[in-house]
Amino acid sequence: MYCCGSTNGWLVYIDNRYNMHLYNPFSGVKFQLPSATTLVPPNPNYRGFSKYYVKKAIVSSDPTTSGSETLVLVIYSGECPRLAFCRLGDNAWTSIESPTRTRSHQDAIFYKGQFYALYSPGAVAICDIGPFHVRLVEIVSSLTSEGPSIKEYLVESAGELYLVSRTCWNFPRKSVLKALMVQLLNLKYLS
């Protein structure tokens, strides 16, 4: 098994047959998610599928209280990571197409009722998932410069959303932290 995400005590994991589950280890409650094999590959010739195909999974809410309103968002694939989501009870994942196919999704978070996705080069988008539409709406761009040793994350703290950028020197057997930058994302104009 491979755990690809956790949110508020709920784990998202993939078993060796590519079945995906939402599981709470404290209560023992488990929900079936669509198989990882229903995720659309980045191109028709893609051959990199494994249980590690899903890089990260984020859960919107507690499925025991929200039921079919619970959404799970995943970042998946190899060369240019993409986004997909499902509702509890769905049979397949629904891809979220980027306006530009060259966007590589790095991180995502569920914050104040919406999914936010971070992609390179340095921008944040809201994943607008409605009953009849799905789209990415870019809200912040040109946040940082990109580079092979820069990793970025979206983090919630004290009710605010932050972008954390970590720059490392990479050596053959270890990485050494070079710089850490924390930036508040001012989203008040969206309210």
**8-27 mean pLDDT:** 94
Is this model's pTM higher than 0.95 or not? no
Q: What is the pLDDT of residue 53?
A: 83
Q: What is the pLDDT of residue 143?
A: 58
Q: Which of the residue ranges 6-15, 99-108, 131-140, 178-187 would you say has the lowest mean pLDDT?
A: 178-187
Q: Residue 2: pLDDT above 70?
A: yes
- Taking the CA atoms of 131, 133, 139 and 142 in sequence, report the sign of the dihedral they define: positive
Q: What is the pLDDT of residue 133?
A: 81
CA angle 148, 125, 183 (to 5 degrees): 60
The per-residue pLDDT for range 101-151, each reduced to its tens digit, is 566 778 899 999 999 988 876 688 888 888 878 888 777 765 555 555 677
Residues 6+ apart with CB under 8 A from 75: 54, 55, 56, 57, 81, 82, 83, 105, 106, 107, 108, 117
Q: Given strand 114-120, what is the order of strands in its sheet?
A: 104-111, 114-120, 123-129, 134-140
What ranges do the domains of the chain cover? 2-143
Instruction: Domain 2-143: give its CATH superfamily.
Output: YVTN repeat-like/Quinoprotein amine dehydrogenase (2.130.10.10)
Strands (E) in the chain, as ranges, are 2-7, 10-14, 20-23, 30-33, 54-59, 71-76, 82-87, 94-96, 104-111, 114-120, 123-129, 134-140, 150-157, 160-171, 174-184
Q: What is the pLDDT of residue 79?
A: 64
Q: What is the pLDDT of residue 189?
A: 45
- Share the mean pLDDT of the chain: 81
